[in-house]
Chain A
């Protein structure tokens, strides 16, 4: 199985900060990576797919980059709605696997 490792596990930040979350794959996954946001008590929401394609309706402050084994999710200016957990997921090969998650909380 492909292991997905996110860092950091927790991130404390303030409104307006630039935030970067990293996701590393245990082997190359090309660009078959998606990012999700999950607010407490809610279902996950798709933000980015194919590593860098912004899902329709997602604010442009979210961006994704990377290929192969290293990927990043960047929030250019953190907003109050963005305090949540973020997960990456690889779709390169079965079984599809998620990262363990990164919680973004208020500093």
Chain B
């Protein structure tokens, strides 16, 4: 069974760093792209970026470029999303999701993690 298990909720202060994780199981991790999606409280979904788990190819939304880093550790089938200096405006639910390929092009997020709630407050 394909599963994406995300790390637990975090409460941090502005300026602190954070790395949240997404552990994949049930499929060949290095053959898929994995992405991150933000959902502000009570709001819609925002695409942050994607990373091919088989190499270093990473694409970011301009809205998140330079604000976060997406990485993977293939030895433990885990993807990460990290911040070096959190802001209150980063308070949100963050989802990881696996991408599917439609005839050579990426076309949807087919499996999602349960989400990690990040709260940034002084």
Per the CB 8 Å criterion, the residue count for chain A at the interface is 23
Asked if A97 meets B95 with Cβ closer than 8 Å, knowing A91-B105, A91-B106, the reply is no
Q: Are B47 and A97 in contact (CB under 8 A)?
A: yes
Q: Note all chain A residues with C-beta closer than 8 A to B100.
A: 49
Q: A50-B102, A98-B46, A99-B44 are in contact. Are A43 and B95 (CB under 8 A)?
A: yes
Interface string of B89-122 (1 = CB under 8 A from A): 0000001010010100111111111110000000
Query: Is A87 interfacial (CB 8 A cutoff)?
Result: yes
Interface of B is mostly: strand
Could you give, for residues 69-107 of chain A, a 1 whenever the CB lies within 8 Å of some chain B CB and a 0 otherwise? 000000000000000000101010011111111000000
| Size of the chain B interface, CB-CB below 8 angstroms | 24
With CB as the reference atom, state the residue of chain B lying closest to A49: B108
Which residue, B63, B110, B113, B114, has most C-beta atoms of chain A within 10 A?
A: B110
Q: Are the C-beta atoms of B62 and A95 separated by less than 8 Å?
A: yes
Question: Is B108 a contact of A100 with CB atoms below 8 Å?
Answer: no
Which A residues are closer than 8 A to B by beta carbons?
1, 32, 34, 36, 38, 43-46, 49-50, 55, 87, 89, 91, 94-101
Q: Which residues of B contact A (CB under 8 A)?
A: 37, 44-47, 59, 61-63, 95, 97, 100, 102, 105-115
Please name 14 further chain A to chain B contacts, defined as beta carbons within 8 Å, in addition to the given A44-B95, A91-B107, A98-B47, sorted by A numbering. A34-B107, A36-B109, A43-B113, A43-B115, A44-B37, A44-B97, A44-B112, A46-B110, A49-B100, A49-B102, A49-B107, A89-B45, A91-B105, A95-B63
